[in-house]
Structure 1
């Protein structure tokens, strides 16, 4: 028998080994989930809700330890890791409320025709494939609604953040939910592919890159019985129009582009600026970016952003910056590796107005492309020049222009004078095009965790025959 493979996780900010664990056995884990699911689905909804509320209490007990683990494994600043743990806890009551609102029971009496009922059933075994940028909050956003609905869940965390995934599953197991109902699958792409394709998996809930999401969609195209929810990336536009509040606009731009080192699917990738405002806006953005602190999670003073996830990502980003530069881009602020041996990069800004063919890709890091335009219709057309459609924001402008922006922009999240990122869990979250498959998450996650069942019911059989029968 071949020896099990080992997965090792390293801290981006130090390069130190953080965690190691053996790759899981997909068939064994799925079989356990299938065996455990029926009793969980048959348990009262009130019991399932009580147990997920206990999960919130378990997270609270380990709040500091959990935040430190997230900070160490992702490299994000400690202040941001704390907000992620808070979001994990807050998601419980949001999910309970969403389940009641989105999948509530209905009953209609119809006298001699009996009654009509609407109820919801869980799908069965749900595979959750998590990302590395929010390794607790985003998988949790699938797991809680799935569990409340009565599904068994298998979490396959990103191979870059397995320790956080292991901790999340430990907290679920500690709260009293049966261990077979919430399980961890450690592994890389091969384990992920095997889990997605497994015949006893009833649903796939994915958060990650468009490339992987599209591969999952293609793989399951001939299996309509599997529910598939894809949360993918974005090439998100931020349009800056007439406003006297230049400092506020710059703050919104920097927050949108560089929070989490630009490693958010909702991060602003493209800044589209009115030509008459260009010099003032870009000058303020550059000045603010120059003051931005890049550092390790526990540094003092606290950094605004940490490293990107690994050296390969840092190399890819610096190469992407050089590609833009050598194909017509004009550097406003260069991207530099701040440490040769660790994935710290400086936030970069590049004007790509003169590029004949701007690449429509998600550059997942602190790299902001700037495009200068002269009229509002051109700004909207430029914002829509993408296969993605996750988030978009208008900064400045008047109510009539925002109405035009909202009506014409292709995105699932459309904001005015707010960042492109920081979406609320109490609202639906999702995009169109290469950003998702019309199954929004967050508050609407309940929709893909249970399916509606309609029934017409009578306590005794009652029927008569009419037209088309001979007399007896």
Structure 2
């Protein structure tokens, strides 16, 4: 309900960062509905120029934006700066993608006619953003949506509303009409009201599988509305037949613990050749013991900061204990160095002989390890999940990669690279519980406009030669 105050606090310190009263979905959708047609009628070149001004505004404010994201999420300054750079780069990438994926085409047809392919915006699109990348991920929906001529109602996560508000302020400062980009502040109630609003033409969502599946059911009876879901993963990283165990350990640590494990592409499961298990884990353990965990502005710079809040930290520590009760063998216990704050040290647990293997996305620095005797068994273990976002193979054998690529079930399949760090210049999405076949990033253009095919002729010429009586 409107009228509830939303307060954002810094995970690293607990200090209040930002506060504002929640908004009303009816009001915001109504404004967007009244505004979008004028924006859609503008030439594409006009919208491109406006969005390039937005990129320049973000560039001018990059230091302030970086500091805000770091404080609100807890991520290190270096990582927040990378997020802001990605926001800027998204505009040119989206312009290229729009031209390639939804450009106008004309094809000659029979009898001096032609076929014209063009694209139209849907209208008003709702965007629900996550807290782990509070600028980059919603921006990845907003920029392509605006470019296509849609209006947007954006509800940021209630855990990172300040970053969302800053993003919208930059769009308005660049001259994007305020009626075409609306900010809806609020919690789950506002999110549900927006997702269920009769006057939106679609929903672009990034978040948990639980919420995404509920939205999928809700929209099943609304085929007239576009729904794009990005729902995370239970991602495997497989290490097999590689002599450079230090590099393998670095790739595993980067995959599992960057952003304190709060990436949808983070490695949740390490699957390793039984013969490499002991030496590889020794390398990983040495590397993890050197990781600096601290607040965003710490010097020297930390590798990772806290998770988003104490509730998340509590859930993760409880989940680690739960894995132990299922027969997991601790390889490195998860610790809470500051009791009142959500800092966590990386936890690792051998689940090879566990009585049960929960297929859930533990959104934090928890790595489950599985030992296998054959590569075929490793692939089967990697595929033993309802998710299918990202998977990576660390191996020196190209034949194993060919086998891995052909058999693994994921939308992102990497070789000797981390599971995370996906490029905005490529499609981003998964299968199963990771998405609904609406990949984002470079392919976001596909769900921000729909194709319209026209059979056209300069003159009306027609005749009927069959099925008529003689005159």
TM-score interval, normalised by the smaller of the two chains: over 0.9
* Alignment-derived partner of residue 348 in structure 2: 349
Residue range with higher mean Cα deviation, 104-113 or 93-102: 104-113
User: Does structure 1 conserve the Cα–Cα contact (< 8 Å) formed by 2:2 and 2:24?
Assistant: no
What's 1:272 paired with?
Answer: 271
What is the CA-CA distance between 1:356 and the residue it aligns to?
2.1
How many pairs align? 471
For the Cα contact (< 8 Å) 2:2–2:23, is it kept in 1? no
Structure 1 residue 397: deviation in Å?
4.2
Q: 1:12: which partner in 2?
A: 11
Mapping for residues 379-398 of structure 1, pairs under 5 Å: 379-398=378-397
State the partner residue of 2:82: 83
- The correspondence of residues 357-436 of structure 1 with structure 2, limited to 5 A, is 357-436=356-435
In structure 2, the partner of 1:293 is 292
C-alpha distance in 2 between matches for 1:29 and 1:95: 25
> 1:372 and 1:224 mapped to 2: Cα distance?
44
Counterpart position of 2:44? 45
Aligned-partner SS, 2:178: coil
> Counterparts of 2:4 and 2:438 in 1: how far apart (Å)?
34
Structure 2 residue aligned with 1:139: 138
Cα 1:382–1:397 shift into 2, 3 Å: farther
Moved more, 311-320 or 393-402: 393-402
Q: State the distance in 2 between where 1:108 and 1:240 align.
A: 49
Paired residues of 2:2 and 2:21 also in contact (CA < 8 A): no
Instruction: State the 1:112 CA deviation.
Output: 2.0
Residues of 2 paired with 1:360 and 1:397: CA distance? 29
| Residue 458 of structure 1 pairs with residue 457 of structure 2 | yes
- Unmatched 5+ stretches in structure 2: none
Q: How far apart, CA to CA, are the structure 1 residues paired with 2:405 and 2:449? A: 31
Looking at structure 1, the residues matched to 211 and 379 of structure 2 have their Cα atoms a distance apart, in angstroms, of: 29
C-alpha distance after superposition, 1:270-315 (max 9, x if no partner): 0001011111100000110000010000011110000000000000
In the alignment, the residues of structure 2 paired with residue 218 and residue 186 of structure 1 have an alpha-carbon distance, to the nearest angstrom, of 25
1:64-100, Cα deviation, whole Å (9 max, x unpaired):
0000000000000000000000000011100000000
d(CA) in 1 for partners of 2:2, 2:214: 29
Equivalent-residue separation in structure 2 for 1:4 and 1:254 (angstroms)? 43
TM-score under structure 2 length normalisation: 0.99
Task: Find the aligned partners of 2:434 and 2:218 in 1 and give their Cα distance.
Answer: 18
| C-alpha distance in 2 between matches for 1:444 and 1:250 | 32
* Aligned mates of 2:390, 2:229 — CA distance in 1: 15
Q: Give the whole-Å Cα distance in 2 for the aligned partners of 1:144 and 1:253.
A: 32
Instruction: Describe the SS at the equivalent of 2:111.
Output: helix
Matched, 1:65 2:64: yes
Gaps of 5+ in 1: none
2:2–2:22 CA contact under 8 A, matched in 1: no
- Determine the structure 2 residue equivalent to 1:335: 334
Cα distance in 1 for partners of 2:14, 2:44 equals 45
Which position in structure 1 is the counterpart of 2:324?
Answer: 325
**CA distance in 1: counterparts of 2:316 and 2:429, whole angstroms:** 25
What SS does the corresponding residue of 1:381 show, helix, strand or coil?
Answer: helix
What are the superposed Cα offsets for residues 392-432 of structure 1, whole Å, 9 maximum, x if unpaired? Answer: 00001411110010000000000000000000000000000
C-alpha distance in 2 between matches for 1:337 and 1:25? 38
1:338-367 C-alpha deviation (Å, 9 max, x unpaired): 111110011111111110211000000000
Root-mean-square deviation (CA), in Å?
0.9
Give the TM-score, by structure 1 length: 0.99
Distance 1:93 1:167, change over 3 A: same
Q: Distance in 1 between matches of 2:44 and 2:154?
A: 22
1:35 aligns with 2:34: yes
Tell me whether 36-45 or 318-327 shows the greater mean CA deviation.
Answer: 318-327
In the alignment, the residues of structure 2 paired with residue 455 and residue 110 of structure 1 have an alpha-carbon distance, to the nearest angstrom, of 11
Q: How does 1:125-136 map to 2 (within 5 A)?
A: 125-136=124-135
